Structure 1
């Protein structure tokens, strides 16, 4: 894959990366994340307020006239890469990307301002497993009230407003307090999912048509998820190399063994390719050029690389990698959960084949 200079980070993007990494280094240590996964409150709300409110990152995709930063998908990708590197338990992907994109499609300016200022957390009530363009569940609209349940909704536990698709074709804004949010078992405890039950919720506001809004939101989410997966893979590779340089057997650094060098070299090459695919997807979302193809390519490639990087990290850390105290399990679970989030790699390969008119054998 050739290197496109347009995909290199600008000085402003590198400055953003450094600022986010510094904040996460100070406020998102692995021990703290592990402790949160063992509690009833896995989300790090103070960290979210620092990122979203203090740094203004929740509004990167929101125009300046709506209290946003007026930036774009490339900047959001930088943030997600760093969040993936720290497996930060914050609702950035769900609120600042997916819900924000849905609201942008509907023109809900007041709600966008709330999300951009971090006074409101929004969640699109569509199962996290749903791929862009795939069918999605809807609730019933009966007598002006919403009834039904939706499953696999990521970060619903901390949502202030739920964006709910209904069977009349509309997308509705529902106060989260009007819904029952029931936790579901989640492999990735840093991004919990829940079942959302609406039993005659009234006062819901129709924002617009659900189909185009959900399609736009999931496409952006899938494209930028690749950057999060890149962050996971880069952490796994970097930490594994560091560990193998320090660990010794037969009075030699384990990293000097040729078989391990070959495994790490192959993994490094895959991570480099993932970086190119993730950045291409973010750039395509920002420019609107070949967006569907770029997103499909990134997601078809990202999941297996992130999972393999985390699996290699677990194995090559030896016995310590199998302990709960070591953070590698957080990254393996995030990589595994991300591999089915917003469509599997297989679903994206199928979509890519259709986009480029490649017939099945």
Structure 2
């Protein structure tokens, strides 16, 4: 078993609360990505799993064994973990095989050599066993670092921004390797990254952190389509939130919201009163019948023109990204229609009870 569990874990560095009262269980065999802005606490959470720091409060459990609490602490080398860093951390004077076999000296020579061969084969580096690190590309060095961790056959593999030093093409290649190796080994993998596309592409479970707190954990689809907090809505996929008012809701999980003088129906589970409407560019389309707005700027991105539109009825709200099929100019008038979105309660207002939200299949905070 390689389940990871945090029970009310907090970690401080001087006056900074790096991890704030986190409680979550990561199931055995999952591929988990931790995501969030710089300084949010995602690397601190990884270091708590690894045993590189000790929590100030709460407990950490790995595979049913408490490894950190008020009265117990298991050293990193006794936790049966593998860890891959962004810096590779390879010995320059050793061959590829030597780097992978380093740390396996407790094994018999024949068993150690078998482990090295298996790890080389798993990362596609069999033909390069005799090379030195300086003879390898960045992507190849990252594969060696990964193979070194896999050779120890850990129950949990920790990946600390391992792709940060690679170019875009190599990053995509390594993401494919991570997915393949996860399927082949079945070990629990925890991947820390600042890149949302990496997290969404490789993990089946993504946790979003902010200021030490775990805002939400769920599938990439849930985070994008059903954010549990305004922070998640704004952070994931460059979303936007608009202040709206809920005039009513249905038992089927829809809200009637008022934007300016218009009333529309959007998925959500919020009682009457102030709310946030969470939107992505795919939720907005130019339309002859829609909300009036003005284009603030236009950029060309991923083969499309993206216009930042300010709504006339909400002049103080954030601009909304709208995908256009043709060029436009700053200052042009435009009408946009809503084709999706998600409604959240405004801070300081009472949300619908969690039990009812769960019954309707709605997202809830971590």
Which one has a larger percent strand, Structure 1 or Structure 2?
2
Q: Could you state the TM-score of these two structures normalised by the residue count of structure 2?
A: 0.27
Q: TM-score, normalised by structure 1?
A: 0.28
Higher relative contact order (CA 8 A, sep 6+): 1
